[in-house]
Amino acid sequence: MRTIHTPLQKEETVKVPEPTLRRLPWYLSNVKLLKQRGERFVSSTQISNEIGIDSSQIAKDLSYVHIAGRTRVGYEIDTLISVLENFLGFTNIHKAFLFGVGSLGGALLHDSGLAHFGLEIVAAFDVNPQLVGTTLNNIPIFHSDEFEQKREEYGVHIGVLTVPIEIAQQITDKMVQGGIRAVWNFTPFRIRVPEDIVVQNTSLYAHLAVMFNRLNINETER
């Protein structure tokens, strides 16, 4: 357990590496579990034993969140949880629009659990006349033409992309022109955006492809 001091003043401008950002939620969920088991302090060694990531890696990752562990005691669990939740943005609600109320889009509108991690989908857009004007899980569905006006109205900067691949790029361009600054891309299409726009790709299909492939290999080796 090492004590971490940080000399950084403007912490908002530190670019945390993406692998670190992806590991932090693992630590958070693990530490929450330890809290439930009645623990009050946790060391990076303890987290390491639980999840099988090198403890020096964990300490390094946690140094980005500006929390100091105490020698031989470790991190105070309550503090670590709240610092991590804050750092990861899970405690602020970020409003988002969803584009494309197909099967996956509709499914995401059903997932109110995203709000626990800071994302609230406040409206959806589609061109299907059977959907426009209705609501899904209390979320209004507007015609795509209304997007720019609604964006200003709601003050939204995040767009969730679940349209068919044929229009993925076109809708992305429209989102960016209308003021969207972060695109969560669920399509298997590799969208292009200007440099200052954030993109996160979540391709369920790519994960399926890896899973099917590995499963076949394992079956062959049996």
CA pair distance 44, 80, nearest whole angstrom: 11
3-state secondary structure of 183: strand
Q: Is 39 a residue that touches a copy of itself (CB under 8 A)?
A: no
Least gap, CB of 72 to a copy of itself (angstroms): 26
Find where tokens 């669990």 sit: 77
Least gap, CB of 157 to a copy of itself (angstroms): 7
Q: Is 113 a residue that touches a copy of itself (CB under 8 A)?
A: yes
Contacts of 66 (CB under 8 A, 6+ apart): 6, 8, 11, 83
Segment 57 to 86, residues that bind a copy of itself, using CB under 8 A: none
Q: Is 221 a residue that touches a copy of itself (CB under 8 A)?
A: yes
Total binding residues for a copy of itself by CB under 8 A? 74
Which contiguous run of DSSP H or E holds residue 44?
helix 44-51
Q: Is 141 a residue that touches a copy of itself (CB under 8 A)?
A: no
Evaluated on CA atoms 80, 83, 87, 90, the torsion sign reads positive
**Residue closer to a copy of itself (CB basis): 70 or 189:** 189
In the list 8, 73, 127, 206, the residue contacting a copy of itself (rule: CB under 8 A) is: 206
**Residue closer to a copy of itself (CB basis): 36 or 130:** 36
Closest CA to 108 of 126, 166, 100: 100
Segment 180 to 199, residues that bind a copy of itself, using CB under 8 A: 181-182, 184, 187-190, 192, 196-198
In the list 3, 9, 138, 218, the residue contacting a copy of itself (rule: CB under 8 A) is: 218
State the Cα angle at 1 between 22 and 86, rounded to 5°. Answer: 40
Which contiguous run of DSSP H or E holds residue 107?
helix 103-110
3-state secondary structure of 31: helix
3-state secondary structure of 158: strand
Least gap, CB of 70 to a copy of itself (angstroms): 25
Is the CB of residue 178 less than 8 Å from the CB of residue 154?
Answer: no
Least gap, CB of 150 to a copy of itself (angstroms): 19
Q: Is 104 a residue that touches a copy of itself (CB under 8 A)?
A: yes
Q: Is 8 a residue that touches a copy of itself (CB under 8 A)?
A: no
Find where tokens 């394992």 sit: 218
Least gap, CB of 193 to a copy of itself (angstroms): 11
Q: Is 41 a residue that touches a copy of itself (CB under 8 A)?
A: no
